[in-house]
Amino acid sequence: MPDLSDGTIGTWAVAGRHHGLALLDPPRTAAAEPAAPGRLRALTAHPLLMPYHRLTAAVLALNAALAVWWVPGEPAARAGHLASADFVLAFAVRQQPLVNALFRLALRSPHRWPLRRRWHLAKVYHHGGVHVGASVAGSAWSLVLAVATTRTGAAWPVLAVTWTLVALLVAVCVLAAPAVRHRRHDLFEMSHRYGGWSALLLLWAQALLTGHAVWVLVLLTVLVAVPWLRLRRVPVQVERPSGHLAVLTLADGTRPTPGAYTALSRHPLGQWHGFALVPSPGEAAFRVMVSRAGDWTSSLIDAPPRHVWVKGVPTSGMATVAGMFRSVLWVATGSGIAPVLPHLLARSGESHLLWVGRRPRETYGDEPAVRDHRGGRRPHAVGHHDAGQARRDRPRPPAAPRDRRGGRGGHLEQGPHLAGRAPAERRGGADLRRDLGLVSA
């Protein structure tokens, strides 16, 4: 197994429910162990200081500086200008063409650049932090505007619209908090969509009542409408390898790039769910793997639709940054194999796969892309099946042949580099990590 330490990096893609992608520092050998990181580096490595949160803090800090330096002169007018600017930024940074452009720019970094520089550029997928910071700041400026408007003794229709807007923005922000979003995702999605549309209507009403310039609202309206201008109803073919999974094939003339995702819905005004796209070889189509994880996915698997709705264009996701590195380690759980497959099909560099799931053959059947890579056709592709093991950090592949058919315990579907090794030699987490090149032999 090639060492991942000489100018390469592993990309950790645990793509399942409530999982994401993160970059691993290259493994260190005893001979090349660097000095202990300083306090600042240790502090910035904390999850609370990830780039996502730093971007949020940077936007809020900029707004705080403007609050001290610029706003006190004319609080009502300037608070309104800043609220509009923040909302434009919040909407613009989530536009699919802009997100794709940011990823294309990051992918232009050549492999000869230092690893740490590419590692930082790969954090482009944290751009959502700008959206959060700008949205919170815009809501705060709306509150400042409401207070200033009340003090000036404005007419009651203006005050009613202004304070209704503030209450709506506060509700949207509260329901978007991580604790609420993760537990009640449907509520978050509906409040974000319909609350955002209602807020835009209230902003128009506010501008018409006060006579303020509306060009910013025209821009906001365009930003909101652009994704919906590409709303389309697409025929879908559904295969169900098992009761846990449905594979959807959509032939809408799209050839997605590796790492792209899109949002699907059974009803345009209902729930929308994002899925990684697996290109169909030789066709202008793509596939989506839907696993049973809730009411929406369960209804789609149990009662497959003939058509689904697609909005916007395929958008680059976290896995797209894999193209910035020479050697990539993928770790996928269950149907999280979907965002990994396009990279295994397309990339010319080294790819290493660790796939964890329950009974992969029974669950995923003979879906071609899964079968190709589960069988280890690509060098160094490793699939690990863990059917009921509680400890994640010490895979324990038993040697019993019955487990290779999906019995209790687990099994390791080995690539060519593991063939011929005795069961005792590949027992335990340390041996597995050494086989994957994560530690020195």
Tell me what the mean pLDDT of segment 75-90 comes to.
Answer: 90
Pairwise CA distance, residues 51 & 49, whole Å: 6
Shared domain check, 82 and 70: yes
More confident residue, 139 or 436: 139
Shared domain check, 209 and 103: yes
Highest mean pLDDT: which range of 24-28, 303-307, 339-343, 421-425:
303-307
Structural domain ending residue among the three candidates 177, 209, 228: 228
Residue 1 forms part of a structural domain: no
- Sorting pLDDT into bands at 50, 70 and 90, what band is 227? very high
Shared domain check, 370 and 348: yes
Q: With pLDDT > 70 as the criterion, what percentage of the chain qualifies?
A: 73
Residue 3 forms part of a structural domain: no
Pairwise CA distance, residues 252 & 192, whole Å: 28
User: Which pLDDT does position 263 carry in this prediction?
Assistant: 92
Pairwise CA distance, residues 314 & 100, whole Å: 9
Shared domain check, 359 and 255: no
Shared domain check, 312 and 164: no
Structural domain ending residue among the three candidates 228, 263, 280: 228
Shared domain check, 179 and 96: yes
Residue 383 forms part of a structural domain: yes
Structural domain ending residue among the three candidates 193, 228, 263: 228
Residue 5 forms part of a structural domain: no
More confident residue, 373 or 234: 234
Contacts for 194 with CB less than 8 Å, ≥ 6 apart: none
Q: For 260-317, what is each residue's pLDDT tens digit? A: 999 999 999 988 999 988 887 778 888 888 888 878 889 999 999 999 999 999 999 9
Residue 441 forms part of a structural domain: no
Residue 440 forms part of a structural domain: no
Residue 70 forms part of a structural domain: yes
Count of structural domains within the chain: 3
**Dihedral pair phi/psi, residue 143, rounded to 5°:** -65, -45
Residue 73 forms part of a structural domain: yes
Tokens of 310: 């697609």
Asked whether 300 and 272 are in contact (CB, 8 A), the reply is no
Q: How far is CA 305 from CA 236, 274, 302, in A?
A: 7, 17, 10
Q: Which structural domain range is residue 98 located in?
A: 50-228
Tell me what the mean pLDDT of segment 396-419 comes to.
Answer: 38
Pairwise CA distance, residues 358 & 361, whole Å: 9
Rounded to 5°, angle at Cα 173 from 170 and 178 = 145
Pairwise CA distance, residues 255 & 294, whole Å: 29
Shared domain check, 101 and 246: no
The yes-or-no verdict on residue 92 having pLDDT over 70 is yes
The pTM of this model reads: 0.76
Residues linked to residue 54 through DSSP beta bridges, in sequence order: none
DSSP state of 431: H
What is the dihedral sign for C-alpha 202, 207, 213, 218? Answer: positive
DSSP state of 66: H
Shared domain check, 339 and 314: no
Q: Which CATH number goes with the domain that contains 304?
A: 2.40.30.10
Residue 355: name the closest of 410, 305, 424 by CA.
410
Shared domain check, 216 and 88: yes
Pairwise CA distance, residues 293 & 324, whole Å: 32
Shared domain check, 277 and 179: no
Shared domain check, 326 and 305: no
Shared domain check, 239 and 213: no
